[in-house]
Amino acid sequence: MIDPAARTFENVAAEYDFGRPSWPAAAVESVGLPRGATVLDLGAGTGKLTRVLLEHFDRVIAVEPLEGMRALIPAGAEVLYGTAESIPLPDASVDGVFCGESFHWFDWPRALPEIARVLRPGGALAMFWNRGAGKRPWPKKVDRLLERVAHSPGEKRYQAFAWREAFAGRSFEPLRHEAFPNAEEISADALVARIGSWSNFTTLPAGERERLLDELRGYLTEPTYRTSIETQVWTTRRS
């Protein structure tokens, strides 16, 4: 079953694809897989990470359960319906599994055995998250607006770190962690789309969400904003 909060991303797929940040090449390269590897983007969303994987690997498979998100995954990848708990691939069929802003949504006791099943022995599991680093680029009025909205369901799942504890006793080596800079200059429109695609906004009633985003647009008076982001990378191997 897909978490109801995660299911709401389908309603804002275009905004998600427009506003969400991409991923640094160095993060993908740090996983240590060769060009000829077969890799899986699990919970691929609109294919933000898929696009980067296509630049690094000859065969990329993208698995995503939500049709509206899946429709935006770029050509070049093999796109399949599926979930982390039921991956539509044979045993030992991929060299690497990548999860970009998706692993915290999984049902880990069911997903980790499935990931181990499709990985070849020694295959890599890489989990990516883009996190704010340093001062936020927007005016204080934006912070005050964000304080009026409940905390993101996805953020709560990530910050609890229960996903790390789920690896205990599983067929994986100890987790390794690295961080990579991922700052970028984005338009005010892209910043509105990014914030509007956060799960604390996607789970709001449509009218309330649009009123808040209209208010947010009024506070963003600069044409572009320099964001400070780090890509947090957690990797392991199937033991």
Contact (CB, 8 A) for 18 and 187: no
Q: How far apart are CA 42 and CA 127, in angstroms?
A: 10
Residue in the block written with tokens 């009218």: 207
DSSP state of 44: -
Strand (E) or helix (H) holding 179: strand 176-181
Q: How far apart are CA 239 and CA 232, in angstroms?
A: 23
DSSP line for 49-114: HHHHHHTT-SEEEEE-S-HHHHTTSPBTBEEE--BTTB--S-TT-EEEEEEES-GGGS-HHHHHHH
Residue 1 pLDDT exceeds 90: no
pLDDT, one tens digit per residue, over 132-186 is 988 888 999 999 999 999 888 888 888 888 899 999 999 999 999 999 999 999 9
Strand (E) or helix (H) holding 181: strand 176-181
Beta bridge partners of 185: 226
Q: Report the predicted TM-score, pTM, of the whole model to 2 decimal places.
A: 0.95
CATH 3.40.50.1820 fits 4-135+152-184+228-237, yes or no: no
Kindly give, in sequence order, each residue whose CB lies less than 8 Å from that of residue 96, ignoring residues fewer than 6 positions away: 31, 33, 37, 38, 39, 40, 57, 119, 123, 124, 125, 126
pLDDT (0 to 100) of residue 173 = 97
Share of the chain above pLDDT 70, in %: 100
Tokens of 55: 């630049």
Torsion, Cα of 207, 209, 212, 213 (10° steps): -110
Residue 44 pLDDT exceeds 70: yes
pLDDT, one tens digit per residue, over 116-134 is 999 999 999 999 999 998 8
Going from N- to C-terminal start, the domains of the chain cover: 4-135+152-184+228-237
pLDDT, one tens digit per residue, over 171-224 is 999 999 999 999 999 999 999 999 999 999 999 999 999 999 999 999 999 999
Strand (E) or helix (H) holding 123: strand 119-132
Contact (CB, 8 A) for 41 and 50: yes
pLDDT (0 to 100) of residue 159 = 86
CA nearest to 105, candidates 44, 19, 21, 196: 44
pLDDT (0 to 100) of residue 134 = 80
